[in-house]
Structure 1
């Protein structure tokens, strides 16, 4: 069999729907992966389509039927498959016994759009730092955003050694009698708790944080706690956006 049919081991694992490429790399490094019964710890290892891959002693097989769900995540759920503190996870909301996992994450107090899938390659595209799929949030904060703060967010800024790319801000509305501001914020990167850290930097308490769009996929009338399957054209559009084609 020709070497042109070989693919990297982490990609082969992701293609089964077992996990994402990045998490597959951790499994390899930690000595949890065998190929044809031989332990493999080199990240650059390539495999053939008929090679047998096992993780923690269990053979994994290719999941032919890919599934993609869009969930309107409620508060109080963590965006993981399992939680060591036995908190409720987003999988508790999905009636599907296949091995699916969230694409990225929303923190426990953030609501809104979250995709779950068994497609490791798709997950890699949407979460890897080298790809940019815009995510749109509706933010409600105490107090008023000053022009200086707005300009800083639009220009990009560094906080504690971490650089945050320029953000798009729109629909800014200050509610004077409640001393509260709401606005839409578009991020093209996915740093952990990014919006909350930015607001904390400016001493602005976040009241509500809700993600209503991932790329061109919008929640629309999907209610909190509900989910639906992504349409094929939505999946294709997200892939094209991640690859910078649109």
Structure 2
């Protein structure tokens, strides 16, 4: 048996905290009866409804994808563009991406049907590190590196300090290859950070998420995470609080 709010979160309906609010508001029914007690435990055979809609309880699954460019980080797209879930046609569970990578950004992306797990990894307080390799147009000097490391001012506020390493540069072409590590997840954040110091990102790839790397995966390849990797990710997120 599991706590009701945990089952709701794992179904991807809401975070556990939001699920608790829904229960207390009387929005949740178990076997046709409204339940407001947060300590309520349920089994897989119980019928659970949230706002009148029955939730589908699935076994949690966890995947890694090497997202190619030109693919959206969504379950589906109204414009008919390829979505990250299209790379898992044999997966019956309703998986969704944990966070997102921009349409023009490639690299490591995690997918799951476990809402609680996704919320744990995405919560800002857990500061999960993401490592990107950026090809930029413009000279990256020491001052610009220091600015990125300290945090730069964007329209939605100052970014947290980043780790920055220049991997190579071509002063004649005014291009550079830079490794940057951040733990925030703002929209197009890495691109906007470089723009803030006068450089334009022409190519961007996420190389690492927490301790996970792409390994031998090629663009469009995916694999299931091992139980040990899932356990490590949970511990990793909890340890960074």
Q: TM-score, normalised by structure 1?
A: 0.83
Give the Cα separation in 2 of the matches to 1:12 and 1:194: 33
Equivalent residue in structure 2 for 1:212, among 187, 196, 207: 207
| 1:158-186: CA deviation from partner (whole Å, max 9, x where unpaired) | 22351200000124311234321001111
Please state if 1:122 is matched with 2:117.
yes
Report deviation, 1:66. Answer: 2.1
Distance in 1 (alpha carbons) for counterparts of 2:33 and 2:112: 29
Pairwise mapping of residues 1-246 of structure 1 onto structure 2 (< 5 A)? 7=3, 9=5, 11-15=6-10, 17-21=11-15, 34-36=28-30, 37=32, 46=38, 48-50=40-42, 52-55=47-50, 57-63=52-58, 65-95=59-89, 96-244=91-239
- CA separation of 1:20 and 1:55: change in aligned 2, threshold 3 A: closer
Following superposition, the deviation at residue 56 of structure 1 comes to: 6.0
Question: Does the residue aligned with 1:91 lie in a helix, a strand or coil?
Answer: helix
Matched-pair contact (CA < 8 Å) for 1:137–1:211: yes
Q: Matches of 2:216 and 2:87 in 1, distance apart?
A: 18
Deviations along 1:21-40, whole A, 9 cap, x unmatched?
Answer: 18966x959x9x54244789
Q: Quick one: structure 1 residues 93 and 86, their matched pair in 2 at CA, closer, same or farther if it must change by over 3 Å?
A: same
What's the secondary structure of 1:130's corresponding residue? helix
Q: Is this contact kept in 2: 1:13–1:24, CA < 8 A? A: no
How far apart are the structure 2 equivalents of 1:38 and 1:155? 53
For residues 14 and 196 of structure 1, do their structure 2 counterparts lie closer, same or farther at Cα, with a shift above 3 Å needed?
Answer: same
Go from structure 1 to structure 2 and tell me whether the alpha carbon gap of 1:92 and 1:209 turns closer, same or farther (over 3 Å shift).
Answer: same
Deviation per residue, 1:210-236 (Å, 9 max, x gap): 001101100022000000111222212
Q: CA RMSD in A?
A: 3.0
Structure 1 residues 210 and 161: alpha-carbon distance in aligned structure 2, compared to 1, 3 A threshold: closer
TM-score (norm. length: structure 2) = 0.84
> CA shift at 1:46, angstroms?
2.7
Whether the 8 Å contact between 2:62 and 2:224 is mirrored in structure 1 is yes
Cα distance, 1:52 vs. partner?
3.8
Residues 156 and 165 of structure 1 are in contact (CA less than 8 Å); yes or no, is this contact kept in structure 2?
Answer: yes
